[in-house]
Structure 1
Amino acid sequence: MTTLKIFLVEDDLFFGETLKYHLKLNPDYDISLFKTGKECLDSIYLKPDIICLDFGLPDISGDILLKKIHEINNSIPIIIISGQEDIEVAVDFLKSGARDYIVKNSHTKDILWNSIIKIRENLQLVNTVEELKEQLEQKFSFEKTIIGQSDAIKTVFNKINKSLNTNINVSITGETGTGKEVVAKAIHYNSDKKNKPFVVVNMAAIPKELIENEFFGHEKGAFTGADSRSIGKFEQADGGTIFLDEIAELDLNLQSKLLRVLQEREVIRLGGKERIKFNARLIIATHKDLAQEVKKGNFREDLYYRIIGLPIELPPLRERGNDILLLAKYFIDLFVKENKMKNINLSKAAKDKLMKYTFPGNIRELKSIIDLACVMCDGKEIFSDDLSFNSINDASFFLSEEKTLKEYTSEIILHSLKKNNNDVLKTAKKLDIGKSTIYNLLQSLELKK
């Protein structure tokens, strides 16, 4: 907050001008002086930050004016300035919503100065909280966080929208790197639980012998080293969302315990007896086909039906068409901003190369490729050679270009030669071909040059 807009409502012009002069010593204060309550009400549209109100106005009494102002905007802090020292009057005003009550005397201007400072500090704190909330909402607004315009991603948007209306469980599936946690956060932070905890448990990252402790917590002395009580993830998520990532990795024995917890909506800490109720939305994610895992006997059927809820399948990046370029541009802009660089563009050849690649690592791989390209380029434009694909030998990418068998054969031989430091005999042995085939190829290439 830079300028603080203050209304002074005072029928004693000398006293009002004295207060105005004193307050204007702070250049950040914009002071407007009114003689009547009507003048103040007629100017409320100017949205004052604070109103300093005389109790004994000629046209409207202070208590009625306070009520009228609150009917228009009950968030405006109001300071009552009165000649009455009656405690009961002051208490009544404070009960009615006045922020402060100041008695008119030789110290009024100083007391008012301090009161306004305190109110301003509170207003700044409120504004900061509101800004943070707004930033949080913008950050996780799923149509900004999940970049894309393809039909495949619009289907995901539609499912996310439907999930926001209820607390139904959500199951997110998709290949590694497709953004399952991003979607889970988008659901949480756009729901009515956005101001409550979002708790993540990654099954693949926790040894199975520690999962129970992570889930349920423990009491002091529950086991060697348990020096104090520990709150489990389900308790932490109470009122909010618990996100169980890579749920298919959960041990079968623990699956039965998880099922009981989800059915009863209560946990018992390790080493404890108290049943602790919790109310949290469940979102799960996996890169595996859970239905197939059930058929294989790796996942409990009853747990499957308990958690499946609203299924959201994330498409692999290779099936999202021009979303690849939209995401590439997003990651370029992000890298440039974070590293305080000038704008970088993608050349046509670079775009073509990205569109032909199959991205086995999906969005996570694309970001890695773009970050490296931003470093390797000349600082103005990313060219085809600046893009390095770690999965360049992926067969689907290799076969994506229109080439003859002879051309593909030549590429394989040349690649193997380079890999074997141009050792013809070693390359021939590795590829199980005659060394004359390699020599003929090399001679042919020399003749073309």
Structure 2
Amino acid sequence: MAATQSPLRIFIVEDDHFYGELLKRHLELNPDNEVFLFQTGKECLDNLYKKPDVISLDYGLPDMRGDRVLKKIKEDYPDLPVIIVSGQEDIQTAVGLLKAGAYDYFVKDYDTKDRLWNAVNNIRQHKNLRVELDSLKNELGKKYAFRNIIKGNSPPLKKVFDRMDKAIRSNITVSITGETGTGKELVAKAIHYNSPRAKKPFIPINVSAIPNELIESELFGYEKGAFTGADTRKIGKFELANGGTLFLDEVAEMDMNMQTKLLRVIQEKELTRIGGHEVIKIDVRLIVATHRNLAEEVKKGNFRQDLYYRLLGLPIELPPLRNRGLDIILLAKHFAEQYCKENGLEPKVFTKKAQDKLMSYSYPGNVRELAAIVELATVMSDGNVIDAGDIQFSSAGLPSDILLEETTLADYNQKIIRYFLEKYDGNVVMTAKKLGIGKSTLYRMLKNKNI
């Protein structure tokens, strides 16, 4: 029998010394098993400080019955696997012990040692999986360290980091706002994986991507037979996130009827699956996000005011990329390095003209758009240099922010002309043609430094 990698500490509680030694020696055929033999329930309980990974427990002990020992073990170590070994085949007793939390129930016979061997190996595999899962979750925490996922040093971003730092120190609901592409889900993940809930689930759901008639079953689940097509029970996102974090993206898209149901679940911290009667207690941290102004949606009557105050919590507003200054270059270099590694390319650097061109654009698609632009540029460029000509802006229309602030007609004209000059790489003839003005007019504006 080949030795496994992870050591396992096993307690055998058996008043028949000969039979106990038989089980002990059989399990010790695997050198990674560390086996302790006890003859009474008290000895077992007194040694629980040694933190066994599994206990084989005789039901008929001289000082106390196995069910009493099991109960005492489960009071302090509810997740510790306990296998009951009994000299009698009593179905009613076996069922009662399994309901009380026993891992399994074996009747003493010639095959018991082999069944115990198989059960111990299964427990070992589950232990290894838990260790691996904890390790992966720790790595996720490192991966989602703030500055590992959100690149930048601009003052607006430092304010975001400060808010995120406050968010991970408490269990408060977090509301994230910002334009599409600013990284709202990344911020939500960073908060979760740096919080005390990091080893519990992070469950994201995009409200806008789910039809109104299905969102209730997605969030709260349903019982088998609740409606036509409900062939099995479905566990909803709230239950899946129990102990962890539920991220509701684009929460402003939820209809008023569903908002009412969501409010009740948040207030009562409990839910009932569709078609069910069981009341399920939940412990879920909420992080919500939207690109809309929720306060304005309340004024318009599109969003419940009481739900708004429940969800507002700690607000974090993500700045658009155009307001983050040199973060644009820092991010571009990061994306270029990332894409070169992924595509097996030599590292590439941006020329001064390329950097100037990147800084001149408004990025209506924010960080997501910049990532796509840089990825294309790494492919289009020759050698290890990315020049201005390798950078292509693909926005079909005017930038989304062009009318965000009130200004003069002359300023609007300048913004529009600058946009098309950027789009056509400074080609005055093409820009004049697209805008329906004479090229001499455009040249004059450039000469007079109006643009």
TM-score range, shorter chain: 0.5 to 0.7
Change (3 A) 1:385 1:260: same
What RMSD in Å do the two structures reach over aligned CA positions?
3.9
Sequence identity percentage: 50
CA distance, structure 1, for counterparts of residue 210 and residue 386 of structure 2: 40
The Cα shift of 1:138 comes to 1.3
The Cα shift of 1:270 comes to 1.1
CA distance, structure 1, for counterparts of residue 169 and residue 201 of structure 2: 19
Change (3 A) 1:245 1:441: closer
SS across alignment from 1:154: helix
Residue segments in structure 1 that go unaligned for 5+ positions in a row: 1-25, 27-48, 51-76, 101-117, 420-429, 443-449
Match of 2:431 in 1: 415
Match of 2:146 in 1: 142
Deviations 1:113-161 (A, max 9, x none): xxxxx9x999987875564244212111112111111111110010001
SS across alignment from 1:283: strand
CA distance, structure 1, for counterparts of residue 162 and residue 286 of structure 2: 19
Aligned pair count reads: 331
Q: Which entry has the higher C-alpha Rg, 1 or 2?
A: 1
CA distance, structure 1, for counterparts of residue 263 and residue 439 of structure 2: 62
SS across alignment from 1:212: helix
Deviations 1:85-126 (A, max 9, x none): x9769x8898674989xxxxxxxxxxxxxxxxx9x9999878
CA distance, structure 2, for counterparts of residue 200 and residue 286 of structure 1: 13
CA distance, structure 2, for counterparts of residue 123 and residue 261 of structure 1: 34
Q: Does 1:301 pair with 2:317? A: no
Is the CA contact (8 Å cut-off) linking 1:79 and 1:98 kept in structure 2?
no
Picking from 256, 264, 288, the partner of 1:260 is: 264
Give the partner amino acid of 2:348.
I
Match of 2:193 in 1: 189
Match of 1:446 in 2: none
The Cα shift of 1:269 comes to 1.1
Match of 2:347 in 1: 343
Match of 2:239 in 1: 235
Q: What's the TM-score once normalised by structure 1's chain length? A: 0.65
The Cα shift of 1:353 comes to 0.6
Give the partner amino acid of 1:394.
L
Give the partner amino acid of 1:414.
M
Match of 2:375 in 1: 371
SS across alignment from 2:204: strand
- Aligned counterparts, 1:17-28, within 5 A: none
Change (3 A) 1:198 1:398: farther
Picking from 357, 364, 367, the partner of 2:361 is: 357
Residue segments in structure 2 that go unaligned for 5+ positions in a row: 8-31, 54-120, 403-411, 444-451
SS across alignment from 2:332: helix
Q: What's the TM-score once normalised by structure 2's chain length? A: 0.65
CA distance, structure 2, for counterparts of residue 298 and residue 187 of structure 1: 28
The Cα shift of 1:273 comes to 1.7
CA distance, structure 2, for counterparts of residue 178 and residue 150 of structure 1: 14
Is the CA contact (8 Å cut-off) linking 1:78 and 1:98 kept in structure 2?
no
Picking from 157, 177, 198, the partner of 1:173 is: 177
Picking from 220, 229, 233, the partner of 1:216 is: 220
Give the partner amino acid of 1:292.
E
Q: Does 1:317 pair with 2:333? A: no
Give the partner amino acid of 1:222.
A
SS across alignment from 1:153: helix
Deviations 1:398-449 (A, max 9, x none): 946998xx999x96652364x7xxxxxxxxxx83x6xxx579999xxxxxxx
CA distance, structure 2, for counterparts of residue 121 and residue 253 of structure 1: 46
